[in-house]
Amino acid sequence: MLISCPSCAATYDVPEHLLSAQGQMLRCSRCVHEWMVMPPPPPVVSEHVPLSPSLYPEPPDLESREAASVMPALTGRGKVRPPQPPVEPVALAMAWVLTVFVIVSLGWGAVRWRGEVMEAWPPSQRAYSALGLR
């Protein structure tokens, strides 16, 4: 059972079997404050009531599923983000092609102008030497 001191908010993990049914006086090791801690109440056992079929939700129709897909989704910290439009496959492919082109162009430029790069940035000489391009 996780218990926190009401005076300084220090937390302690106290096993429930160490707390008596009448309560237990505890002393905080940080601020020496003493307080009474009661054990947690036993869980309430309720009668088992079988659910009738009328209590189960009806399956949503097509319109409500479409409406649910338009609803904003929650992110990890409870912030609501607006629904995103679907990405066209052609646009996605073009983005990949452009990204590959930029990376290849940067690599080609680093090889083509390696003398200027090594002169402007001397630590790059080790990288070019390791690649055998010096």
Q: What is residue 52's predicted lDDT score, i.e. its pLDDT?
A: 60
**Average pLDDT of 120-127?**
94
Each residue's pLDDT tens digit, 68-78: 554 444 445 55
Segments making up each domain of the chain, as ranges: 2-37, 89-130
Rounded to whole angstroms, what are the CA distances from 62 to 14, 66, 71? 52, 6, 15
Instruction: Report the chain's C-alpha Rg in angstroms.
Output: 33
| Residue 85: band (very low, low, confident or very high) from pLDDT cuts 50, 70, 90 | confident
Instruction: Supply angle C-alpha 55, 58, 62, rounded to 5.
Output: 165
Each residue's pLDDT tens digit, 21-75: 788 888 888 898 888 888 877 777 766 666 565 555 666 565 555 555 544 444 4
Q: What is residue 74's predicted lDDT score, i.e. its pLDDT?
A: 47
pTM of the entire predicted model: 0.36
Q: What is residue 23's predicted lDDT score, i.e. its pLDDT?
A: 82
Instruction: Supply angle C-alpha 98, 99, 101, rounded to 5.
Output: 65
